[in-house]
Structure 1
Amino acid sequence: MAHDDDSQALEGAYQPSPGLSVAVTDPVENPGLPAHRERMTDKDPRAMKTAVRTVYTLFYISLAGSIWAVAAYMLFPIESGALIDVRYNNLFIGLGIGLALLALGLGAIHWSKAVMSDKEFIEPRHATRGKESTREAAIKAFADANEESGFGRRTMIRNSLIAAVVASIVPGVTLFRGLAPFNSEDDPTAGDPVALLSHTMWKGGMRLARDPDGTPIRAADVTLGSAMHVIPEPLTEVSHHDGYLEEKAKAIVLLMRLLPEQLKEDEDRKGWSYDGIVAYSKVCTHVGCPVALYEQQTHHLLCPCHQSQFDVTEHAKVIFGPAARPLPQLPIAVDDEGYLVAQSDFHEPVGPSFWERH
């Protein structure tokens, strides 16, 4: 087999198969770095001053956006209950936060592109680490970075950046105020979430009605294996401007019918059901999602948000998932006309268990 002169040099390291020729070319030369092209801000001091002013102006705009978001939270309080305040609250807080983050990002980008040093350099890799010389080199690298970025010298940029970054966090912290209970002289329970969720519209003798049309439910109409979404009958007469959604959110119930012998009832709760018909709060005891998925073969209720499962045959106890306690049961009975009615309100707070933590 014939080989050229260059391939002869490779015979010690690589032996080609018979009939295979090898062509070796010269290695590609390193072209090096392209010629450095100066920016306008590098050539013209006035352009550099303009760029610096633009950067810290953007940072101050970001600061103003953060302050406006906090002010909008106070000017349009959602606690007022007015729909227009809720809309303006969301609109102006969102605009303030959006402006703050946009200006902060634009300022940082313009700073890096127009003000910071853009000279190319090569940083050789080495195997040493942990030595005193390495530590000194690291300190020098930080010092060089500070010098090139101008962070230490350009005080207006530095101070405006720090102010904008700190202020950008404030709107988010302010919004947590909405999670705190607020007191009201007219309603002593307004500042106590436990008290608010301990009582609903349900009262003794109040009929169970279909959601949303408000039709009263006869016990004879509840078929075996069925599940009905239920609200208090008087709730259908409440205007949507009179706290309808708040009352409905607490009082929603899921009504199901099983064979009476399938129920495993405690002695003190045997009178809470009627002929295999049971009613449980739809509000999940994990974070308050609506528990509305009923599997009639296993008699399990499923919360679609985080997959908590409750056993309807045994007082809706938790059998899977993050929920901490069973769904509250609504005691029910039948009135003289055969309609299902509540015996009383729930005997425990509805909704997430964390409301009960003091």
Structure 2
Amino acid sequence: MAHEEDPLEHERASWKPSPGLAVAVSDPVKTPDLPPHRARMTDKDPVAMKRAVRTIYTLFYLSVAASVFSVAAYIIFPIESGRIADIRYNNLFVGLGIALALLALGIGAIHWSKAVMSDKEFIEPRHATRGRDSTRESAVKAFADANEESGFGRRAMIRNSLFAALIASVVPGIALFRGLAPQNSPTNAIAGDPVALLSHTMWEEGMRLARDPEGTPIRAADVTLGSAMHVIPENLAEMGHDEGYLEEKAKAIVLVMRLLPEQLVEAEDRKDWSYDGIVAYSKVCTHVGCPVALYEQQTHHLLCPCHQSQFDVTRGAAVIFGPAARPLPQLPITVDDEGYLVARSDFTEPVGPSFWERH
């Protein structure tokens, strides 16, 4: 019987690699060895090592001094004084002190790791972790080796200066918390009571409404439909930037808007608080005191950009969205004999945030 030849077998037997064709070889891939260790100058020269150590703890103690300086600047230039110079110098020197403290601390730590700590390369073998005594002993040895390599336990000056710098670095932040407490003002007889301080502003009966910041009085005829104006008391502009100007402006700042009179939904006891569709509301948000400065002409909504509280101007600046707890205080207004907008009285409630206890 004739044997039938397998064509595939013949093809495999006659196959030869083409010239230039790369043939894969199943040799194992070897992990390249680590490069030779290069000793640092501090490893070779004891004088260089001592110099590096001195530099490190000097930087750490410089960080301590800068932290103390920032606290001293906070005390020397009290922001609660209200003086522009104190506020500027407080921000400048407190900021510089904190920046220098953190910068010196960071540079010292980096220089320590680069010049003093052991920089020898090593390979850590991985193995199954077992909860045995030997595992715990290995962990203890690892910490001991790290302490030996870093010199943390042996180099007392570096260790102590690092601790001092870390502790001192948080002191300026703690000192700044003092500014959050109610401050007593020697120029105010009712100092210390935020409700009393915010219950009275510069507005009084007959006080003209003026544009911010130039202080130009505003005629009712100049307030166009759909407009919004930032307004201050007329006599506030006469103060210039004397002591107390910023505090009084922060309390008295007002937004004036004009709507169609029929669009206003007013309470019976407030129908005479507006004039021909012109209304005035405090610009200080009743959430945390941010400036309410965005007016949506079509919806008649006021928006606080800090936390998105929204107030409806057509309904007494009632809160319609966001975290604000109460409507914006309304300033009663009318016009004088010359057609200028004037206040009927001061605000009838405290302006500003609602998180203080109010009567």
Q: Classify the TM-score, shorter chain.
A: 0.7 to 0.9
Q: Indicate whether 1:105 and 2:106 are aligned.
A: yes
Corresponding residue of 2:305: 304
Contact persistence 2:286–2:353 (CA under 8 A)? yes
Corresponding residue of 2:4: none
Q: What code does the residue aligned with 2:251 have?
A: K
Corresponding residue of 2:172: 171
Counterpart Cα distance in 2 of 1:262 and 1:22: 87
Q: What code does the residue aligned with 1:86 have?
A: I
Q: How does 1:1-358 map to 2 (within 5 A)?
A: 23-24=24-25, 26-356=27-357
Contact persistence 1:3–1:21 (CA under 8 A)? no
The structure-2 alpha-carbon separation of the partners of 1:244 and 1:88, relative to structure 1 and needing over 3 Å to count, comes to closer
| 1:111-150 deviation line (CA, Å, top 9, x unaligned) | 1112111122111223325444433322222222112111
Counterpart Cα distance in 1 of 2:231 and 2:46: 74
Counterpart Cα distance in 2 of 1:3 and 1:152: 73
Q: What code does the residue aligned with 1:42 have?
A: D
Contact persistence 1:208–1:230 (CA under 8 A)? yes
Counterpart Cα distance in 2 of 1:347 and 1:312: 18
Note the residue ranges of structure 1 that are not aligned, 5 or more in a row. Answer: 8-19
**3-state SS, counterpart of residue 330 of structure 2:** coil
Counterpart Cα distance in 1 of 2:14 and 2:233: 97
Counterpart Cα distance in 1 of 2:67 and 2:26: 62
Counterpart Cα distance in 2 of 1:201 and 1:2: 104
Structure label with greater radius of gyration: 2
Corresponding residue of 2:5: none
Alpha-carbon distance, 1:311 to partner? 0.6
| 1:138-177 deviation line (CA, Å, top 9, x unaligned) | 2222222112111122221111100011001111221222
Counterpart Cα distance in 1 of 2:350 and 2:190: 13
* Percent identity of paired positions between Structure 1 and Structure 2: 81
Contact persistence 1:252–1:283 (CA under 8 A)? yes
| 1:277-308 deviation line (CA, Å, top 9, x unaligned) | 21111112223222222112111111223322
Two-structure CA RMSD over aligned residues (Å): 2.7
Q: What code does the residue aligned with 1:79 have?
A: E
TM-score by length of 1: 0.86
How many residues get paired?
345
Counterpart Cα distance in 2 of 1:185 and 1:235: 21
Counterpart Cα distance in 1 of 2:354 and 2:266: 23
Note the residue ranges of structure 2 that are not aligned, 5 or more in a row. Answer: 1-10
Contact persistence 1:214–1:233 (CA under 8 A)? yes
The structure-2 alpha-carbon separation of the partners of 1:109 and 1:265, relative to structure 1 and needing over 3 Å to count, comes to same
| 1:44-95 deviation line (CA, Å, top 9, x unaligned) | 3333222222211211111111111112222233334443333333332233
